[in-house]
Chain A
Amino acid sequence: MLSPVAITGIGLASSHGEGRAAHAALLGGVAPVLDATSFAPYPIHPLAALPFDKAIPRREMRQMENWQRLGVYAAGLAIDDAGLRERVAEMDLIVAAGGGERDWKLDEQILAAQPDEIQRHRMLLDGLRPTLFLAQLSNLLAGSISIVHNVAGSSRTLLGEEICGAEALRIAAARIATGTSPLCLVGGAFVAERPEVLLLFALGDVLHRGPWVPLPERQGIVFGSAGAFLTLEAAQAARAPLAILRHVGTDQGRPETRPARLAALLAATPERQPGCMVISTASGAAQATADELAALGVTPDLFSADILGHLVEPTFPAGVALAALAIAQGRAKQVLVTGTGQWRGEAVALLEAP
C-alpha cells in the first residue's frame, strides 16, 4: 500500500541568499546574480555570503571546504524549515554528490613547474593538506551532515551528475511511500567557483561563453553555487506539508533515444490540470535541453537555471524545492518539474497542493 508523500521542509541557499522568502520572491522571474569576471569567459551565479559559522562548529568547519559547508548549511535549513530537529536520530539521508574541492593553487604550482613523475609526487606529498582529502570525498558531505546535524538513520550518496539528484529523490519518495523510511532528507550542493569543475565540463564543450543570456537564448551551461535539500514524510504523518510529491519518474539511456524516454516519462505522469505550472531544470547543454523542450510542447514558466544557475547534482531537487514553494505560496495548485541531464538521464516530478 503506497502512502502519499509530503514535502515538509525545504532548504535552499543560493546566489540570492537563503530560505523560503528569499527564493519565493524569485518565482515570478528575477534578474540573476552574476559574476562575469572571476572565471571569464564563463559567467557564474556566485556563492552568496552565508553565515556558515553560525550553523557549523569551528572544529567541523576546518574539516570542510565550501562544497560541504554549503551542503551542510542547506541541509540544516531544511531540517529547521520542517521543524524536525527533534527527529534527526531516525532521519534517513540521501545525498546527490559530485566531489569536493581540489587544492587548485597546488595544481597550478605543479602545472607551472612541469615536473617529471617523481617530482610531481614529491610536490603532492609536500603540498597536500591531510584534511583536504576528507573535504574532497563525495560521501563526506553526507558524513558531515550526520556529524553536524546528528542525522543518524541511513546514509547514502549517489553519484552521476544531474540524474543522480532525481534518482535520489525518486528513491527517497519510494521509501517513504512504502513505509520503509519514516522521514528522509534528500538533496545536495554545488559550488561553481571551482576551476577543476569547469575543466571537466570544458572538456565536454558544454559551457556557455561570454555575456549571460537567458537559457532559451543560449547553447551552453552557466553554473551556479547552491545547496538544495528537501525533507519528505508520509503525508498522513506530516504536520504542515508544503506540497504533495505526487509522482517522480526517472530514466536513462543513449542520447539518440532520449525523446522517446522523455515522452514516456511525461505520459506516465498523472494528468496535468489546466494552470499546471511547469518548471524546467534543463542545464542549457544544447541537445539535451532542446529534447526536453520539444517533449514538453509548452514553454516552461520557469527555468531554474535562469535564477539559480545550473547546479548539476542538486539541480532536480532544487527545481522541486522551487515547485513546493510555488504551491505553498498559492502561486500554483500543481507543478510539473522536468529535467534532462547534460549527458545522460531524464526525470519528471509532479507536485500538488496538500
Chain B
Amino acid sequence: MNPRIAVTGIGMVTALGFGAEANWAALVAGRSGIARITRFDTTGMRATMAGCVDLPGDEPGFPLSVSVRCERLGEAAIAEALAQAGLTAPFDGPLCIGMPPVEVEWPQRRSFGATTYPGLLEAATGQAALYEEFLFGGASTRLAERFGTRGVPQTVTTACASGASAIQLALEAIRRGETKMAIAAGSEASLQPETLIRFGLLQALSTRNDTPQTASRPFALSRDGFVMADGAGALILEDEAHARARGANILGYVLGAGEAADTFHRTRSAPDGSAIIRCMQRAMDDAGLAASEIGYVNAHGTSTPENDKMEAMAIRALFGDAPPPPVSSTKSMIGHTLSAAGAIEAAICLLALRNQMLPPTINQEDVDPDLGVDTVPVARPHAFRAALSNSFGFGGQNVAVVLGAA
C-alpha cells in the first residue's frame, strides 16, 4: 500500500510575480504577464515578447545566463516552499528538479576575443567559474548545496513535461521508502536570444507581437503558437504520516502520476491522441480515481494550433460520454515556462483546490467551438476534490499529475 503524498509547501515565481499568493491573485484576476522583451535585442526575430522575469544583474548586452537565472528562480521558489512547510536547510530528502539544458552562451563565447574554436579553447582554459556555471548539473547542484538536500540531485529534462517528471520522481522515491520527503521543482529560463531564434525557426511561437498580452490564447480559434516564459515552481512532498507527526499543515495531496512516451513524432502527438490519453488514464489509475472524480483539468494548453486541438480531443475521449470537467490553461497568463510548467501548474491546481476557485484561460474572445470543452474564460468558484495537470513535451514525453484537496 502506497503512502499518501502530502504537499506541505508551495513556492512560485513567474512573470506575474514572486510568491504563490501574488501569483494566485493575478491568475484569478485574469492578468497577463506577457510583455515585450527588453533584456536583449529582438530585431528581426519572429517573436519579440515573452513572460520575462528580469533580475538584478541583467546588464545591457550581458543578461544573466540561462543557468544563473534558473538557479535564482529555483532558489526563490524552493525557499518559499520550505518556509511554508516550516523547514530549513539542511533538508532531509532529495531535490528532484526539472531544468533546461544549458550551454556556454554568446556573451561568454565572444568575451575571449578568439575567432576560432582552437583559439577559444586556448584562451578560455582554466576559467573555472564559467565551467561551474555551464555544467549541466551546475545549477541544480548549487541549489542542492544551498538547501542541503540529500544524495544526488535528480535533474530531469523531458522538455515541457520536466516539472511534472520531477514530481513523479519525488513521488516514486517516497513510495519506495527511500525518503520521507522530497523537493519537487521546476525552473526555467531558456529565454535567451539563440533559444528564442531556434523556437522561432520551428514556427512554434506566437507572433502576435503588437499585443503581447493577447498572444497566449489557448483554445481560441486565432491561437498561433506559444509564448516563452521564465519561471519556477516548487512543492514540498511528504509522506502523509511524516507530515502529520511533525504537525505540518497539509495543503493538499499529489494523488498520482502517469506518463506515456509517444512514438509518433518529435513535435506532434499521434493523430489519435493515444499516448496523451494513455498518460492521463495512467495518472488517474495511479491515483485510484475514476474520470468522474476529476473536477478540473489544468491543460498543457500551449496555444499552438496542434496541441490544443489534440489535447481537447484527448480530454473528451478520456471522459467518454460524460461532459468533461472545466479545462483551463494558465499559460494564457504566465506563458509557457517549459521545464517549470509542470511544477508551476501542479502548484496552481493545489491553490485552486484550496480556494475552490478555477483560474481562467484568458483571451477567449473567439473560443474554438469544435474543441467542445469549457475553457473557463473568467475565474469562478467551483466545488471539487481532485484536479488533473497535463504536461506534454517535445520529444513525445507526456506526464499527467493528479492533485487532491486537503
Interface residues of chain A, those whose CB is within 8 Å of chain B, are: 42, 63, 93, 97-99, 102, 104, 107-108, 110-112, 114, 117-118, 120-122, 124-125, 128-130, 132-134, 136-140, 142-144, 146-147, 150-161, 163-164, 166-167, 171, 174-175, 178, 180, 195-196, 198-206, 250-254, 341, 343-345
The answer to whether A97 touches B137, judged by C-beta atoms less than 8 angstroms apart, is no
The answer to whether B131 touches A139, judged by C-beta atoms less than 8 angstroms apart, is no
Known contacts A160-B137, A252-B141; is-contact A196 B267 (Cβ 8 Å): no
Task: List the A side residues contacting B134 at CB < 8 Å.
Answer: 200, 203
The answer to whether B151 touches A250, judged by C-beta atoms less than 8 angstroms apart, is yes
Cross-chain pairs A/B with CB under 8 angstroms, 23 sampled: A42-B121, A110-B110, A117-B61, A118-B41, A121-B193, A128-B197, A139-B159, A142-B395, A143-B394, A147-B263, A152-B260, A154-B260, A155-B158, A158-B155, A159-B137, A159-B156, A160-B136, A160-B155, A164-B136, A195-B117, A198-B117, A203-B128, A204-B128
A121–B40 alpha-carbon span in the complex (Å): 10
B163 → A minimal CB distance (Å)? 13
Task: List the B side residues contacting A107 at CB < 8 Å.
Answer: 109, 117
Interface hit among B98-106, B290-298, B361-369, B380-388 = B98-106
B159-189 near A? 1/0 per residue, CB < 8 Å: 1001001000100100110100000000000
The answer to whether A142 touches B201, judged by C-beta atoms less than 8 angstroms apart, is no
A142–B106 alpha-carbon span in the complex (Å): 27
Cβ-defined partner of B126 (8 Å) among A114, A205, A344? A205
Known contacts A146-B261, A196-B104, A344-B137; is-contact A97 B197 (Cβ 8 Å): no
The answer to whether B151 touches A343, judged by C-beta atoms less than 8 angstroms apart, is no
Known contacts A112-B115, A146-B262; is-contact A174 B176 (Cβ 8 Å): yes
The answer to whether A203 touches B131, judged by C-beta atoms less than 8 angstroms apart, is yes
The answer to whether B132 touches A171, judged by C-beta atoms less than 8 angstroms apart, is no
The answer to whether A155 touches B259, judged by C-beta atoms less than 8 angstroms apart, is yes
A196–B118 alpha-carbon span in the complex (Å): 10
The answer to whether A203 touches B396, judged by C-beta atoms less than 8 angstroms apart, is no
B355 → A minimal CB distance (Å)? 32
* B324 lies within 8 A of chain A by Cβ: no
A110–B194 alpha-carbon span in the complex (Å): 13
The answer to whether A202 touches B159, judged by C-beta atoms less than 8 angstroms apart, is no
The answer to whether A151 touches B128, judged by C-beta atoms less than 8 angstroms apart, is no
The answer to whether B198 touches A133, judged by C-beta atoms less than 8 angstroms apart, is yes
* B33 lies within 8 A of chain A by Cβ: no
Cβ-defined partner of A142 (8 Å) among B41, B197, B397? B397
* B152 lies within 8 A of chain A by Cβ: yes
The answer to whether B159 touches A152, judged by C-beta atoms less than 8 angstroms apart, is no
Query: What 8 A-B pairs have minimum CB-CB distances, sorted nearest first?
Result: A143-B395, A160-B137, A204-B131, A195-B117, A203-B131, A155-B261, A133-B198, A130-B201
Cβ-defined partner of B140 (8 Å) among A122, A160, A205? A160
Cβ-defined partner of B261 (8 Å) among A140, A152, A200? A152
B43 → A minimal CB distance (Å)? 5
Task: List the A side residues contacting B394 at CB < 8 Å.
Answer: 134, 137, 139-140, 143
The answer to whether B128 touches A345, judged by C-beta atoms less than 8 angstroms apart, is no
The answer to whether A108 touches B117, judged by C-beta atoms less than 8 angstroms apart, is yes
Known contacts A121-B45, A147-B265; is-contact A199 B101 (Cβ 8 Å): no
A187 → B minimal CB distance (Å)? 16
CB-based nearest A residue for B262: A146
Task: List the B side residues contacting A112 at CB < 8 Å.
Answer: 115-116
* B18 lies within 8 A of chain A by Cβ: no
Known contacts A151-B263, A158-B154, A196-B103; is-contact A125 B396 (Cβ 8 Å): no
* B55 lies within 8 A of chain A by Cβ: no
The answer to whether B116 touches A252, judged by C-beta atoms less than 8 angstroms apart, is no
Known contacts A121-B43, A130-B201; is-contact A159 B145 (Cβ 8 Å): no
A167–B151 alpha-carbon span in the complex (Å): 10
The answer to whether A175 touches B172, judged by C-beta atoms less than 8 angstroms apart, is yes
Interface centre among A138, A139, A202 (most CB of B within 10 A): A139
Cβ-defined partner of B395 (8 Å) among A140, A195, A254? A140
A343–B275 alpha-carbon span in the complex (Å): 38
The answer to whether B104 touches A200, judged by C-beta atoms less than 8 angstroms apart, is yes
A73–B307 alpha-carbon span in the complex (Å): 30
Known contacts A154-B260, A200-B135; is-contact A250 B152 (Cβ 8 Å): yes
Known contacts A93-B261, A111-B120, A124-B197; is-contact A157 B156 (Cβ 8 Å): yes
B278 → A minimal CB distance (Å)? 9
* B357 lies within 8 A of chain A by Cβ: no
CB-based nearest B residue for A126: B44
The answer to whether B151 touches A138, judged by C-beta atoms less than 8 angstroms apart, is no
The answer to whether A155 touches B110, judged by C-beta atoms less than 8 angstroms apart, is no
A63–B265 alpha-carbon span in the complex (Å): 11
Known contacts A118-B41, A138-B157, A140-B395; is-contact A154 B261 (Cβ 8 Å): yes
A16–B106 alpha-carbon span in the complex (Å): 36
The answer to whether B109 touches A345, judged by C-beta atoms less than 8 angstroms apart, is no
The answer to whether A130 touches B393, judged by C-beta atoms less than 8 angstroms apart, is no
Task: List the B side residues contacting A178 at CB < 8 Å.
Answer: 176
Task: List the A side residues contacting B197 at CB < 8 Å.
Answer: 121, 124-125, 128
Cβ-defined partner of A140 (8 Å) among B43, B259, B263, B266? B266
A175–B154 alpha-carbon span in the complex (Å): 15
A56 → B minimal CB distance (Å)? 14
B59 → A minimal CB distance (Å)? 12
The answer to whether A128 touches B201, judged by C-beta atoms less than 8 angstroms apart, is yes
Known: A133-B201, A199-B117. 4 other contacts (CB 8 A): A140-B266, A180-B176, A198-B117, A251-B152
B118-131 near A? 1/0 per residue, CB < 8 Å: 10110011111011
The answer to whether B115 touches A114, judged by C-beta atoms less than 8 angstroms apart, is yes
Task: List the A side residues contacting B162 at CB < 8 Å.
Answer: 139
B106 → A minimal CB distance (Å)? 6
